[in-house]
Amino acid sequence: MIKMKKILMIVALSMVLISTGCNKSKESAGELNFFNWTEYLPQSVLDAFEEEYNIKVNYSMYSSNEEMLAKINSGEKGMYDLIVPSDYMVDTMRRAGELEKLDMSKITNFGNIDPQFTKMYFDPNNEYSVPFMISDALLCYNSEKIPGGITTFGEIFDPKYKNQIVVLDDQRMVMAVAAITLGMSVNETDPVKLEAIKNKLFSLKDNIKVFDSDSPKSQMISGETTIGYVWCAEAALAMQENPKILPVYPKEGLPLLFDNFAIPAGAKNKENAMLFINFVLRPEISKMVSEEYPYVNPNKAAYPVLPDSYKNNPASNPPAGALENGQLLRNLEENAQLYDDIWTEFKNR
């Protein structure tokens, strides 16, 4: 009887150990603290990553590069493992020592990126960043409300469009419109020219009904606004909902943002961040991103598997020369405060 009890105890203990071992295999392999733009990555991609790697993703969002940088600089070092800064912000943070160098041996899918979008001015050797999406901002309009259409940035300053426009709540992109309309650089720092840009910008204020970087398509779809200065993907999605909404690539050229994955200095889960970057560069995962958020996709390996709904949407596929004729936003360095001051005055006017 005693011998039988010992056997039962051993069996029970074995079952506990086996159960513990099984539970251990299901324990999280870590976490990833990811800070990204709003409406820029599908939940399905986050779920697929968590399922495959057993890594918990703590996901939070921002609406502008400046908001992201302010949050990082005011918070605890290492609070985020992965961010998606635009070109000029990569340059700003790289020069300030605020980004970690990447181990490209861990990002084996980097070759899927079209070479024309690599080794750019803000990270010449791609040591600190990996291209994610190109988020150019273009115009769109409701052809039922504006049957004659529009073709230039200059037209949206016309007083007849008072209280009819939704624009991005993004200082660099909106100030760029004023600069481009005047034939100036989107990175202008000359005080005299900046004063002209400021005056032009202020003349647009009465025409703006809504500032919205998160979901500007909503105002266009609902008919609350008749003209939008929005991210290309927002225009593409608005067109899917309402075929009367048409895109415009202004004759003056576009301000361009190349958005990139990067790892903030002091990241606590750097390996997981690089694992995620490599995961998103897979063609089938990149496809999932573009299907839900149809920005210009620099992943050439993903293009063959993208649906026709994406390939045939002109808002997601700029015409020949549109990107080449655009202007990239650059790091303003010590002149950034000049733009901050103008934008603050403009928003509070």
Q: Strand pairing partners for 259?
A: 86, 133
How confident is the model at residue 8, as a pLDDT? 43
For residues 187 and 93, state if they share a domain: no
Q: What are phi and psi of 61, to 5 degrees?
A: -130, 160
260-305 pLDDT, tens digit per residue, is: 999 999 999 999 999 999 999 999 999 999 999 999 999 999 999 9
With a cut of 70, say whether residue 1 has pLDDT above it.
Answer: no
Sheet of 245-248: strand order equals: 208-211, 165-167, 227-231, 137-142, 245-248
Residues 125, 41: one domain?
Answer: yes
Q: Residue 48 falls within a domain, yes or no?
A: yes
Residue 314 has pLDDT above 80, yes or no: yes
Q: Are residues 272 and 343 in the same domain?
A: no
Residue 189 lies in a domain: yes
Question: Per the domain annotation, does 13 fall within a domain?
Answer: no
Q: Do 188 and 331 sit in the same domain of this protein?
A: yes
Identify the band that residue 349 occupies on the pLDDT scale cut at 50, 70 and 90: confident
Phi first, then psi, for residue 243 (nearest 5°) are: -60, -15
46 and 161 assigned to the same domain = no
Give pTM, 2 decimals.
Answer: 0.86
- Same domain flag for 175 and 225: yes
Q: How many CA atoms lie within 13 A of 81 on its CB side?
A: 20
In the predicted model, is pLDDT for residue 6 greater than 70? no
- Does residue 21 lie in a domain region? no
For residue 95, the domain's CATH number is 3.40.190.10
Tell me: do 264 and 244 sit in the same domain: no
Question: How much is the pLDDT for 78?
Answer: 94
pLDDT reading at 79 higher than 60: yes
Helical (H) or strand (E) element with 256: strand 255-256
Domain assignment present for residue 119? The answer is: yes
Residues 211 and 330 reside in one and the same domain: yes
Give 320's pLDDT tier (boundaries 50, 70, 90): confident
Q: Would residue 3 count as lying in a domain?
A: no
Mark whether 230 and 339 lie in a shared domain.
yes
Residues 213 and 271 in one domain: no
First to last CA, the chain: 90
Structural domain boundaries, residue 243: 137-253+325-348
Give yes or no for residue 181 having a pLDDT over 80.
yes
**CA–CA separation, 186 vs 33, rounded Å?**
33
- Determine the average pLDDT of the residues in 136-165: 97
The pLDDT value recorded for residue 28 is 63
Provide the pLDDT for residue 291: 96
The per-residue pLDDT for range 28-55, each reduced to its tens digit, is 679 999 999 999 999 999 999 999 999 9
| Number of domains within the chain | 2
**53 and 171 assigned to the same domain:** no
Radius of gyration of the chain (CA): 24
Whether residue 197 is found in the same domain as residue 300: no
Q: Is residue 14 assigned to a domain?
A: no
Report if residue 8 sits inside a domain. Answer: no
